[in-house]
Structure 1
Amino acid sequence: MIGLTLAEIASATRGSLVLDGTGATEETVVDGLSTTDSREVVDGTIFYAKRGEFTDGHLFVPQAVDAGASLIVVDHALDTAEWSRPVPQLVVEDTVVALGDLATEVIARVRALGLLKIVGVTGSNGKTTTKNLLREILEQVGPTIAPRASFNNEVGAPVTMLEVTEQTEFLVAEMGASGIGEIARLVRMARPDIGIVLKVGLAHAGEFGGIEATLAAKTEMVSDLLDSDVAILNLDDPRVASMADKTVARVLWFGLDERADVRATGIVSSARGTSFELHLPNGESRAVQFRVLGEHHVMNALAAAAAAHTLDVGIDAIVAGLQNVTRAERWRMEVMGGARGVTVINDAYNASPDSMAAALKTLAQIAEPGGRTVAVLGEMSELGEFSGEEHDRIGLLAVRLNIDQLIVVGPAARRMHISTINEGSWDGESKYFDTPDAAFEHLQGSLGAGDTVLVKSSNSAGLRFLGDRLGELFS
């Protein structure tokens, strides 16, 4: 973070300082990182005591102090008698709101220097992959900040924004939401120069209240852009394409449609990745050997390329960045195993109907000749009233794709199993297991040479750890 005095931080967050016995003054400068996790605190960190559903960050302040925190942000002044040393406290009404307020202030100050460019990324699927691809491209050009993992909510996004310094040239801000107004709040913090919308699908539809509410929420990425900004939109998704009428920003289209400004042709998928020809608006084109598994990730590559092109990055750097990335992210189409001829694809960090369908299609495409395709599937969470029919649909898709073996894990996903065994035209086999342990016991004795195994579920189902165990078994 840029250096700010305690007085400046208090002013930005509308807070009150408690400095008694600390030796600090209002002019003391703080420039450490920010966190709401006491386990991440190092010397100089600003620790925000966030109240959560199951615990309260105020209980962990002593640990943060021990670890070297330079400032404690709280919603009421704490008794410091049991602390190992006196540390300044900033008392605010809401620590999460204060985190966002400070991020807004820091971004505004760095922006005023004229160097920083900001890209916001949202969509029902693909945010983290696109963020990682864009970071890889931009880091070749200048100092770049992008979120760790999926830091894209009211806490993670401002924590990332606060990492910018006077030398930062690019900030990639991943913006997720579970309700109306959340993306708008993050956009107001960052004020992106470029807003990317990847896809509007059923991910989190249960929380939003339906697909139209999801569309409204994602539209917040571009509705407040200025006419000097750029909205990068997916031409292949009609819902995203409709956002062009909701923004005054210049629209740059990406997609497979031949009308797209940034597009791909000649897509060929294999177990080694996806090759395609990248076309840019200036008429340049290059062959890309994209090592991220899954044809659906080509759209994320196009979005990243479009943003980089808008930032005047040359095509050679764009292609080099795309080709440097070997996986979308940990537990996202992560290729594991290989021993005894068994390949494991661990994609069990997130799952929506769209991403589940895309992963199954990839599995069918990359099957080894003579080998089996095995899909180990768990719950797609946060679908609300759409849950039953969407699990049915995925089960039937496995049948239509001729997946050789379906393993369904967990009661919340059982409808996938039922829908497949009710499909009389399928010659394949579906098995159901209540727990990942039970599924592992079956799989370790049944997998053989040539098998390609996809493990896919929402994070809450815990199948990512099953995927890790299978990967280690055949490593």
Structure 2
Amino acid sequence: MIALTLAQIAHATSGRLQPAGTATADTVVSGTVDTDSRNLGAGDIFVAKPGEVTDGHLFVDAAAGAGAALAIVEHVVDAPISQIVVADAVQALADLARMVVARVRAEGTLRIVGITGSNGKTTTKNLLARILSDEGETVAPRASYNNEVGAPLTMLRVQASTRFLVCEFGASGPGAIAKLAGLVTPDIGVVLMVGMAHAGGFGGIEETARAKAELVAAVRPGGLAVLNADDPRVAAMAAGAAERGIAVRWFGTTAAADVRAGDIETDAAGTRCVLTVDDEQLPLRLQVLGAHHVMNAMAALTAAVALGVSPADAVARLETVELAERWRMQPMGGQRVRIINDAYNASPDSMVAALRTLAQITGPGERTVAVLGAMSELGEYAGEAHDRIGELAVRLRIQRIVVIGPEARRLFLSAVAEGSWDNEAVYFATADEAYDYLLTELRDGDRVLVKSSNAAGLRFLGDRLGESFS
């Protein structure tokens, strides 16, 4: 974080300062801001956020012991550390982020990109950060820091020397993206796609579309919206951009896109395509598995070019990315048995894309194995969504379908009903049971996809399989 006095932080957070030791209102702090006391060191700032499982106030003393200079709290804690008492620690975190970003933006050349969409946010964020990092100091979220806590923590990492801030905005309901994006008013807003991810929290796909459009509405006057020309719900957001005088740049596979891809081919080494950027054609060899990541690459490239990066440089940097993020289409195992661990998150759209990728990268004499768990946060749409994935797995002729967990049992039943009658589909209540089965079932030439939402925990099963078959 930039250097601020305790008084300035108290003012930004509407808090009451209680200095400790030799500290005064004029004491300057500039350390890292975090809600996890285990990540703190000398001079850092701890935000004591109440949580569902535990309360951050229980760890203020640990933060002081780690050398933290300040704790932002909702009530005074008996600990040897300066404290700022606020009404709401999460809101205080947001208010502090807003002030810090505004100061850096006013004093330097900071450019801000916001990214949202039902799928692909983290991959696109990482691809864009890779492109921009060669242009200047770039701050981007760690992992999927895209909620009311993670997004402000990312924003607070900016310094006076930061040239680019890439923000990822997720949401579980209407208004969340507007609130987060409103903290920074991005120069560029990127909307990837509108799908069924988190549809249960939004009340349906049309409500999801309205929520994603909140990013376009938050782009600063004179800014740019980067929109997916292939998604009708995203394309419709151009009308709102026009009303606000926001320019639009398109990416996709249609002729209308400013950045478009053609001749897309996928194999076990990645995806090849030819990109057209306005009138310039550039071949791209993306190492990240899955043809669906071409759309994420185009979105990142479109934003980067708008920020002044040459298309050729952007493509060259995209080609150096080997892995989008841990547990996202992550190759593991060895040549005999290859594991693709894609179990950090799952929605109907990403599940379809992953299964299709599995089918595409499996060659003659090799066998497709899909290890599937539940998709979370689909609400009333969960049953039908799992039905469709079970049916698709059979239609893609996935040769072994391993379904895990009670929440995913309907997927298994749908696969059986679709035609998986000869033990192609099996069901296990727990990941441990599935692991024991797979140890004896997998054989040379198998290509194994592990896919589920984070809550199902199959990413750890993927890790175990990767180690066992490495």
TM-score when normalising by structure 1: 0.97
Sort the Cα spacing of 1:427 and 1:227 in 2 relative to 1 into closer, same or farther, 3 A.
farther
In the alignment, does 2:22 pair up with 1:23? Answer: yes
Shift of 1:425: 7.7
The partner residue of 2:266 within 242, 264, 269 is 269
Question: Which residue of the other structure, out of 349, 353, 368, is the alignment partner of 2:348?
Answer: 353
Q: What does residue 157 of structure 1 align with?
A: 151
Partner of 1:209: 203
Paired with 1:185 and 1:136, the residues of 2 have a C-alpha distance of 27
1:427 Cα deviation from its structure 2 partner: 6.8
Cα deviation 1:363-420 (Å, max 9, x = unaligned): 0111121111000000001100000000000000001111111000001000111011
Give the aligned partner of residue 316 of structure 2. 320
Pick the aligned partner of 2:282 from 282, 286, 299.
286
Letter in 2 for 1:421: V
Preserved CA contact (<8 Å) 1:121 1:195: yes
Indicate the SS of the match to 1:179: coil
Q: Is the 8 A contact 2:144 2:168 kept in 1?
A: yes
Q: Which residue of 2 aligns with 1:61?
A: 60
Q: Distance in 1 between matches of 2:261 and 2:446?
A: 30
**Do residues 311 (structure 1) and 343 (structure 2) align?**
no
CA contact (8 A) 1:99 1:158 kept: yes
Structure 2 distance, partners of 1:62, 1:227, is: 45
- Runs of 4+ with deviation above 6 angstroms: 425-428
Cα distance in 2 for partners of 1:122, 1:355 equals 15
> C-alpha distance in 2, partners of 1:241/1:407?
37
Q: Which moved more, 1:316-325 or 1:148-157?
A: 316-325
- Counterpart-to-counterpart distance in 1, 2:259 and 2:300: 10
Cα distance between partner residues in 2 of 1:96 and 1:300 = 30
1:278-427 → structure 2 map (5 Å cutoff): 278-281=275-278, 283-339=279-335, 341-424=336-419
SS at the partner of 2:282? strand
Amino acid at match of 1:166: A
Given candidates 83, 86, 103, the residue that maps to 1:89 is 83
**SS at the partner of 1:190?**
coil
Matched AA of 1:306: T
One-letter amino acid matched to 1:277: V
**Aligned partner letter, 2:461:** L
SS in 1 for 2:58: helix
Deviation at 1:197, TM superposition (A): 0.4
Q: Deviations over 1:104-153 (max 9, x none)?
A: 00010001024100000000100000000000000011000001000000
CA distance in 1, matches of 2:405, 2:428: 6
Aligned to 1:129: 123
CA distance in structure 1 between the partners assigned to 2:238 and 2:221 by the alignment: 12
Conserved in 2, the CA contact under 8 Å of 1:18 and 1:89? yes
Equivalent residues in 2 for 1:135-146, closer than 5 Å: 135-146=129-140
Find the aligned partners of 2:347 and 2:202 in 1 and give their Cα distance: 14
Q: Distance in 2 between matches of 1:336 and 1:79?
A: 48
CA distance in 2, matches of 1:68, 1:474: 43
The whole-number CA distance in structure 1 between the counterparts of 2:154 and 2:351 is: 29
Deviation at 1:213, TM superposition (A): 1.6
Mind listing any 5+ residue stretches in structure 1 that lack a counterpart?
81-85
AA aligned opposite 2:353: A
> Are 2:166 and 1:166 aligned?
no
Seen in structure 2, the aligned counterparts of structure 1 residues 193 and 380 have a Cα distance that, compared at 3 Å, is same
Q: CA deviation at 1:428?
A: 7.1
Deviates more, 1:375-384 or 1:223-232: 223-232
CA-based RMSD: 1.1
Q: Deviation of residue 226 (structure 1)?
A: 3.5
Whether the aligned pair in 1 keeps the contact of 2:108 and 2:161 (CA below 8 Å) is: no
- Give 3-state SS (helix, strand or coil) of 1:203's partner: coil
Match of residue 107, structure 2, among 113, 116, 124: 113
Alpha-carbon offset, residue 424 of structure 1 = 3.5
Aligned to 2:248, the other structure's residue is in SS state strand
Paired residue for 1:83? Answer: none
1:50 partner SS: coil
AA matched with 1:2: I
Inter-partner Cα distance in structure 1 for 2:314 and 2:419: 48
Asked if the contact 2:401/2:426 (under 8 Å) is kept, the reply is: yes
CA contact (8 A) 1:69 1:87 kept: yes
Whether the aligned pair in 2 keeps the contact of 1:227 and 1:250 (CA below 8 Å) is no
CA drift at 1:8: 0.8
CA distance, structure 2, for counterparts of residue 147 and residue 190 of structure 1: 14
Shift of 1:154: 0.6
1:445 to 440, 449, 463: 440
1:34 to partner: Cα distance = 0.6
User: What do the CA deviations read for 1:65-119 (whole angstroms, capped 9, x no partner)?
Assistant: 1111110000111223xxxxx3210001101100000000001000102410000
Report 1:186-205 matches (<5 A).
186-205=180-199
Matching residue of 1:3: 3
The answer as to whether partners of 2:394 and 2:419 remain within 8 angstroms in 1 is: no
CA contact (8 A) 1:399 1:426 kept: no
- Pairwise CA distance, 1:461: 0.5
Give the alignment's TM-score, normalised by structure 2: 0.98
Relative to structure 1, is the Cα distance of residues 104 and 470 closer, same or farther in structure 2, using a 3 angstrom cutoff?
A: same
Runs of at least 5 residues in structure 2 that lack an aligned partner in the other structure: none
Preserved CA contact (<8 Å) 2:147 2:169: yes
Identity %: 60
2:262 alignment partner AA: T
Kindly state the Cα deviation for residue 207 of structure 1 after the two structures are TM-superposed: 1.4
Contact 2:60 2:77 in 1 (8 A): no
For 2:51 and 2:208, the matched residues in 1 are separated by 25
Structure 1 residue 446, shift from structure 2 partner: 1.0
Q: Aligned partners of 1:308, 1:424: CA distance in 2, in Å? A: 46
| Equivalent residues, number | 467
Cα displacement (A) at 1:316: 2.5
Q: Secondary structure at the match of 1:431?
A: strand
* Secondary structure class of the residue paired with 1:79: coil
SS of equivalent to 1:326: coil
Aligned partners of 2:185 and 2:220 also within 8 Å:
no
